[in-house]
Structure formats: structure tokens, C-alpha cells
Amino acid sequence: MALPKNKETKAIIEKCLSQRFNSIMRHETRPFNESPHIIQHEGKVLKHNTLDDQDSQKTMEYRKAEFTYKPDPQQLISMTLEDVIKLLDEEAKNIGSQMAKHYFQVLSITAEEVGNVVDAKDQKLTPEIFLDAMRKISIPFDKDGNPKFNNMIVSEEMSDVWKNIIEEAEVNPKHKEEFNKIIEQKRKEYNAEQAGRKLVD
């Protein structure tokens, strides 16, 4: 595939391909795209305070994801724009998948470290297990006091199972009462946290 000689046209094509690449890559990491991000320009040690006001320190392990494509010269000449787009799309998905896998690994390790894990121990999933998980997560609320529930990520095979469990927890009087108690407790925790932030500010 021959690129146009005009520099401005080449720059536009490169920009469009780059934007498409990033868009497809971010689609693979979409469960984490709305998570808070920070940029640390130097050093590997990150110090922060946890929600329970404990000092924490982490030594970061840098990761990189990249791809290299070395086509045969004759193959490169015969490639069409569609071929290039297909190649970039595949590599964008591959890199995005690598990043998402790493994110999940870090999330799993972090949750284990703080004990924020519910182990069903190979038992059948039940509303009780769902409620136990609800007790362990932090839930924010809007200005009217309504809970803003976090996204729940499950495999396609388990999506219907979890949907039925959540529906049962919301309908069954016993589970619904416990669910409401948990939400009320989370509301108190959230309000106390926000009040503490205002005092610091």
C-alpha cells in the first residue's frame, strides 16, 4: 500500500488510524475505563491512605504492551487500506485484552490483600452470597441519597444466574429487608466519609 506524498494527508490518515486503534483497545478494557487514573512521572513507590485511614505503600511493577509487524516487502506493497485496518484492529484487541487481563490480576490480588473477597467455596450461588458481597463493597450516593451501584462484571455463562439471584434478593421479603439494611448502612458510611472530606478541605 502506497501512502500519499502530501504530508498533511499522511498525518490525517495516521491520526485516524491511531484514534481507531485506541478506541478498539479501550473497548477491551471498558470495565476499567471509568476508574480513577493517576500519572506518576518518576519513581516506583506509591504511598496513599486507605478508606480506613491506614497508610499504605506499594512498589509498582511496570508493564508494557506492544506489537511488531514485519511483513514481507512484496506483501507490504500488495496490502490494501482494508488489510492495514484489519491488522491494526486485531492488534488493538490483542493489546487491550492483555491490559484487561493484567488489570483483573491486580484487582484480584488487591482484593485478597485487604480481605475484600467472598469465597463461595464451590457452593451454589445464593442471595445470601450476593448480600455478603454487598457488605464488602463501597457504594456512593447521589445528592438525593440514592445509591449509585457499581458495575458488576461476570462471565456470559453466569450472567443469567446472577440476574436471577439479584432479582430474588430484591423480591424476597427476607432478603429485601436485609438488602435495605445494607444500603442504609452504606449510606451512613458514605455520608460520614463525605463529611470527613469537607473537614479536610
What SS3 string covers 92-104? HHHHHHHHHHHHH
What counts of helices (H) and strands (E) characterise the chain?
A: 6, 2
Query: Looking at 9-18, 22-31, 51-60, which range is the least confident one?
Result: 51-60
179 close to 135: Cβ distance less than 8 angstroms: no
* Mean predicted confidence (pLDDT) in 55-73: 74
Using the predicted structure, report yes or no on whether residue 54 has a pLDDT greater than 80.
no
CA distance 79 to 73: 10
Question: What SS3 class is residue 168?
Answer: helix
Mean pLDDT across 127-142: 88
- Does residue 142 carry a pLDDT above 60? yes
pTM for the model stands at 0.67
* Pair 28, 96: CB distance under 8 Å: yes
For residue 49, give the 3-state DSSP assignment: strand
Please give the mean pLDDT across all residues of the chain: 82
* pLDDT tens-digit readout, 147-199: 988 777 887 888 888 888 888 888 889 999 999 999 999 999 898 888 876 55
Distance between CA atoms of 25 and 66, rounded to whole angstroms? 12
Could you tell me the three cell numbers for 183? 444500603
What mean pLDDT is predicted for residues 2-8?
A: 72
What is the mean pLDDT of the segment spanning 103-129? Answer: 81
Residue 59: how many other CB atoms lie within 10 Å: 8
Kindly tell me if the per-residue pLDDT of 53 is higher than 70. Answer: no
Q: Is the dihedral of CA 12, 13, 19, 22 positive or negative?
A: negative
Grid cell of 13 as nine digits = 490518515
* pLDDT at residue 43 is higher than 80: no
> Given 3-state DSSP classes, what are the helix, strand and coil percentages for the chain, each rounded to the nearest 5?
60, 5, 35
49: left (phi over 0), alpha (psi -120 to 50) or beta: beta
- Tell me the residue type at 119: D
Banded model confidence at residue 51, pLDDT cuts 50, 70, 90: low
Domain boundaries, the chain: 7-113, 127-200
